[in-house]
Chains A and B, each alone.
Chain A
Amino acid sequence: MITLIRAKDGTIKTFSEKPHSDYNLVLGETVEQLDLDFNTYAQRFRFSCGGRSGETLSVQQGSGDLLVDLDCPGVETVEVDINGLVDTLVVVNGKAQLTLSSDVPGVYLLQPADRRSYCAAGEAVLCIEVNPNG
């Protein structure tokens, strides 16, 4: 049994492996109890790059393409938000991939576009920092 907290606008704010006492919720938030395993729920939408997820990755400018994996079982396509731009990925056997360039310094922030279906937290958010040379 896990606990899901939705923000006032219906997007999923967080999910927790333990029950949540609801009397201290921020105004407008709602709580749902789901009969699901916490780890299973966390794998519904999971970015990784080079096997790493849930942390900021730091790469050097010009270090080649960055191959990002997405685990998203149970769907055929999924929309991802990359620095505010939405891209649709084809999902095959629960997995999708996208490639990012490391040519230009900056920060990539990847997260689910549909935040009512997927929680933009945990392993569903991936930050990759491309650091300038020199």
Chain B
Amino acid sequence: MPYPSSSEVSSGQPTYAAHYNNLRADALWCGSNNTESYPIGEFLSRYAANINIQYLATNRLRVPVDPYKPPTIMIGGCMLKLASYKDLPAGSFSGSAATYYIHANKNAGSRGFTISVNTTPVDSDTSRPIGTCYWDGSSISSITAYFSNLTGMPDPSYDSGWFAVAAGTVYTKTHGLGAVPHMYLLLHSTNSSGSTENAVVSTVKISGQNYYYAPIGFDSTSAYIETGTDATAGVICSTRRVSSSGYYRLQVWL
């Protein structure tokens, strides 16, 4: 398939239907035709890229802008781009706990977009969902961006920070994510700053038993960490470290 199929027209040269149709084929189907290609506007109608979503205090959201990778989206056939960050207005969340859908909104007379939230994922000629967040009734606890360009492991949805631990104790940590996390990491440090080796906690020991147990469970609200009762290995029992004290740090991903 030659591309482009249209050709230049010289000054004074009459233009014919073939010129127009070739030009139209180039514009709509990149030189192809409507039986082998979707029109470019339709092809790009679901396009969106570089739309990261950040938490903004208090209980707000922000779409940041990297000038080299600006947030772009097509809504209602219009190609929109942000030149500066866009914030969710204050007071956008209310009522009981729910998953909120974050929408990009096209506004008349503007080539940018604004953001809003509501509890429905349905899009329209003026709105498209670009992510979700969970509202626990008082605060936002997790954010998912559909069109993020962030690479590598995302920041954890919940991070307990370091807390002091001892053997034979249950520690309840409220992650507030609204769902059981997909992944977690429980770390142990021998000092409060976490500057020593962070050993991964997989098993703890129960006093008087030669069995080793995983110490953690989750529900949609909390993580329950139960250290073992053994005086020497109740907090961590691994080839890297044995301890019945020290500090834990829990990170989870939704």
Contacts and interface: CB of A to CB of B under 8 A. Distances in A.
Q: How large is the interface on B (under 10, 10 to 19, 20 to 34, 35 or more residues)?
A: 20 to 34
A85 interface: no
Interface of A is mostly: mixed
B172 interface: yes
Contacts of A24: 172, 174, 221-222
Contacts of B222: 24
Given A21-B176, A56-B233, A127-B243, A15 B166 contact: no
Given A18-B160, A107-B232, A127-B232, A122 B244 contact: no
A129 interface: yes
Interface stretch (B34-42, B65-73, B121-129, B190-198): B190-198
A121 B190 contact: no
B239 to A, nearest CB: 13
B247 interface: yes
B244 A120 contact: no
B163 A123 contact: no
Contacts of B242: 55-56, 58
A13 B169 contact: yes
Given A42-B192, A54-B245, A55-B245, A16 B169 contact: no
Interface of B: 159-167, 169-174, 176, 189-193, 196, 221-222, 231-233, 241-247
17 contacts: A14-B164, A14-B166, A14-B171, A15-B164, A20-B174, A54-B190, A54-B245, A54-B246, A55-B242, A55-B243, A56-B233, A107-B231, A119-B164, A120-B166, A121-B169, A122-B192, A124-B245
